[in-house]
Amino acid sequence: MTTQPLPVRTRLFAMLLKAVAEEQTDAAQLLALRRKRQRLLSTRLGRAIVGTDAPGVRVRELTIGGDSETRLRVHSPEFAGGSLPIVVNYHGGGWCIGSPEQSRWLASRVAGQVGAVVVSPTYRLGPEHPYPAATEDAWAALQWVHEHAADLGGDRGRIAVMGDSAGGNLAAVTALMARDTGTPDLSAQVLIYPVVEVHERWPSEDANALAPLLTSSLMRTFTRTYLADAADTQDWQASPIRATSHTGLPPTLILTAGHDPLRDHGTRYAETLRAAGVAAELCDFPDAIHGFTALPGAAPAAETALDEIVAFLRRSI
């Protein structure tokens, strides 16, 4: 795959980031970044970059229990009738920053255009809650959604998982867990520039080591902070590409970005799934940066990616 020059909007966004943001190299700096990003989402500039909820989509919040308190941001088409398919969407942020609000542009439009209930859960973040806390919360949220599908206006027999970056990792892991337990029987998974391997360094990481938004150094800071005492783990629940088998997984759409250290993660996982007999579609955006589906104001490719995701989910769930 080849890359293409970044659009003007994306280049301007990258220049702004470079001017105002320092590279995060430890847990304390990640915590500061988390606070800054949360504040930014509530500003006019933040809304211009990450987008807002789609018109015609109702948003409500629920809180569920378990080992930790999880907040669910639930997006539903306002005028849809009957029992709708459900998409459980995990936000990105290196398992250390981020929230469902940063995915609101994509999640709400998937809800409105697919005619689905899109549930975006929180999960515990590092460094306060290292691996496997995020995985445990992601799995608990999926189980809760399956058990309470009718209360959400959804069909428990038509559930998909979706996630971007670290959220793509959690979506891939929960899909494997669902296959192994048989509950729920997932209809599809959408993995958006996912992390599928926490140790190996692949060529796209070197080629895009200084890319906008996510550098190789920041990647490694996220992973080191998330894994903490489990830094040497070989567990597939950290690196889903290491699962013993990938057979029996649901139809999969994987999106990658040309200017992204994680690009090879998506391509290699697509190859792994296809070798296991899984219907896996790979859609690359050669002029996009990591995180682009959560940056519609800075990345024109976000609109095209939305179209691909909507079309895939319409025919899969």
Is residue 3 included in any domain, yes or no?
no
Q: Before 286, cis peptide (omega within 30)?
A: no
Looking up residue 55, the CATH number of its domain turns out to be: 3.40.50.1820
Is the separation of the CB atoms in 176 and 241 below 8 Å? no
Q: pLDDT digits over 290-308, tens only?
A: 999 999 999 999 999 999 9
Is residue 35 included in any domain, yes or no?
yes
Q: What is the mean pLDDT of residues 113-142?
A: 98
Is residue 89 included in any domain, yes or no?
yes
pTM for the structure as a whole: 0.97
Nearest Cα to 94, choosing from 301, 306, 291? Answer: 291
Q: What is the mean pLDDT of residues 75-83?
A: 89
Is residue 173 included in any domain, yes or no?
yes
Active site residues per annotation: 165, 260, 290
Q: CA-to-CA distance for 215 and 8, rounded, in angstroms?
A: 20
State the DSSP code for 150: G
Is residue 80 included in any domain, yes or no?
yes
Strand, helix or coil for residue 196:
coil
Q: CA-to-CA distance for 84 and 146, rounded, in angstroms?
A: 13
E strands, the chain, in order: 57-64, 70-77, 84-90, 117-121, 154-164, 188-192, 252-259, 280-289
Count of the separate structural domains present in the chain:
1
Confidence (pLDDT) at 20? 72
Is residue 144 included in any domain, yes or no?
yes
Buried b (16+ CB within 10 A) or exposed e, 251-263: bbbbbbbbbbbbb
Q: Before 132, cis peptide (omega within 30)?
A: yes
Percentage of the chain lying above the pLDDT 90 cut: 91
Is the separation of the CB atoms in 81 and 108 below 8 Å? no
For residue 162, pLDDT over 70 is answered with yes
- Count of CB atoms within 10 A of residue 69's CB? 11
Q: Residue 61: is it exposed, middle or buried by C-beta count within 10 angstroms (0-12/13-18/19+)?
A: exposed
Q: pLDDT digits over 7-33, tens only?
A: 999 999 999 888 777 788 899 999 998
Q: What is the mean pLDDT of residues 252-262?
A: 98
- Count of CB atoms within 10 A of residue 91's CB? 26
Is residue 1 included in any domain, yes or no?
no
Provide the residue range defining the domain that includes 198. Answer: 8-316
Q: How confident is the model at residue 98 (pLDDT cuts 50, 70, 90)?
A: very high
Strand, helix or coil for residue 310:
helix
Is the separation of the CB atoms in 96 and 222 below 8 Å? yes
Q: pLDDT digits over 199-211, tens only?
A: 999 999 999 999 9
Is the separation of the CB atoms in 100 and 41 below 8 Å? no
Confidence (pLDDT) at 122? 98
